[in-house]
Structure 1
């Protein structure tokens, strides 16, 4: 009986190793095809979730495939991070591992573009730009990163050194993040003196609109990875995040580029 139990445990261990090994190889092949199809500089991270993987292979349906690519070139704001969560992916295993993967039917696709402070600063022409989200203060729970709803108006503090008349000084502004007609509008609405700001300054009244305008721009995100249309924009840590959700879509590998 002990030998039988030991034998079964060994077989189970081997089955688990084969399962994880097969999943790892599929992740590697998908990553390579994504890099090739989208002409990326490095292999993106690919994670196939759910056990057992071989059961999903038999069904030709995968519960969750997560993709993350850093340093993706964008024509709009330079290098960004791309994240996509594919839930309900339908494809034969041979297509995943044999280099035949050109398109994938997906039940639900969540895509995100993350723009860091450095790239956003270059876009605004403020090299030392810092991005932070103030604590929630609005009664409806939607202001700031601490609220329960999406971060929009008043959801981000921008700090950077800009010209104020004949001198340059570091100022902080409170900006609204608004998504309208597929564009992300960063609108500096007021100067900020709260704990997230790092500036102690005084702006002459005639110069206030000019200085606020330096922090105000519109970003055309085009589309999110795999053609997902943007539906939300918010601040997350020191990044601006644009995301969207698509249902019953078919993606192609060269659409990971923002």
Structure 2
């Protein structure tokens, strides 16, 4: 009889394989953590500069999109930086601008700055290929502006869904008008009246102009006040310049707000 040779133990190889896998996982986690930490440092520096540039009371929210951040940093080209600030007051007595609750947004496409300069907060040479900026004007500001003419309360902003959204011949052409539905209350001779107004907003000289076509009251016997209400709601809202001086080119009605947006190309990250 021939004796069989016993199989060699594989424990050492198995342990080495597990060790290598664990090592690779740990290194991967450390690299990802380092990448996120580096991105956070860059976001902090941009937030500091944007607070000064946009004249905010506190740092805006900044997010550098794209992973890994390190690759973008080595190239000095950050593909998409999001900047968001909420509840921003805008006051300019000379221009008659007094808004207290704006949402300001800017999308920076291809921000170009060396990593060392970014981390040092030295962004005087940084440039942006394209900035898409927008502001949202909310119902609180609309209500306050309308109250300067006629007492309104609980005004709300909604798209007018009765009107079918028309698709422009060229989808790249910005929309300069949008259908709107305003709802709220007013006081007539001590009586609270609920109203619903339908019309349009239009982009006029960089501002939003409200034009009301029809008003429905819960008390039809008071229809004689409709022309007065229509005139009171014909408000022009000018938020001033968009982020980075972008030219307003489009308006939109959202649930709870009017949105004014535009874009600008080849601009510095901060004023030189």
Cα deviation, residue 219, structure 1: 1.6
The answer to whether the 8 A contact 2:176-2:202 is kept is: no
1:152 to 159, 177, 190: 177
The answer to whether the 8 A contact 2:54-2:243 is kept is: no
Equivalent-residue separation in structure 1 for 2:254 and 2:65 (angstroms): 25
In structure 1, list runs of 5 or more residues that go unmatched: 143-148, 193-198
Cα deviation, residue 124, structure 1: 1.7
* TM-score, normalization by structure 1: 0.83
What is the aligned-residue RMSD (CA, Å)?
Answer: 2.5
CA deviation vs aligned residue, 1:126-162 (integer Å, no higher than 9, x gap): 34211112325337358xxxxxx95834x21112223
In structure 2, list runs of 5 or more residues that go unmatched: 1-15, 92-96, 169-173
Q: Secondary structure at the match of 1:69?
A: strand
For these two proteins, the number of residue pairs brought into alignment is 241
Do residues 123 (structure 1) and 145 (structure 2) align? yes
1:97 to 115, 119, 123: 119
The answer to whether the 8 A contact 2:244-2:267 is kept is: no
Cα deviation, residue 34, structure 1: 2.0
Q: Secondary structure at the match of 1:128?
A: strand
CA deviation vs aligned residue, 1:213-237 (integer Å, no higher than 9, x gap): 1111112232211100101111111
Structure of higher CA gyration radius: 2
Do residues 4 (structure 1) and 20 (structure 2) align? yes
- Matching residue of 1:201: 219
Taking a change above 3 Å as real, the CA distance of residues 35 and 20 of structure 1, as seen in their structure-2 partners, is same
Give 1:75-90 correspondences, 5 Å limit: 75=91, 76=97, 77-90=99-112
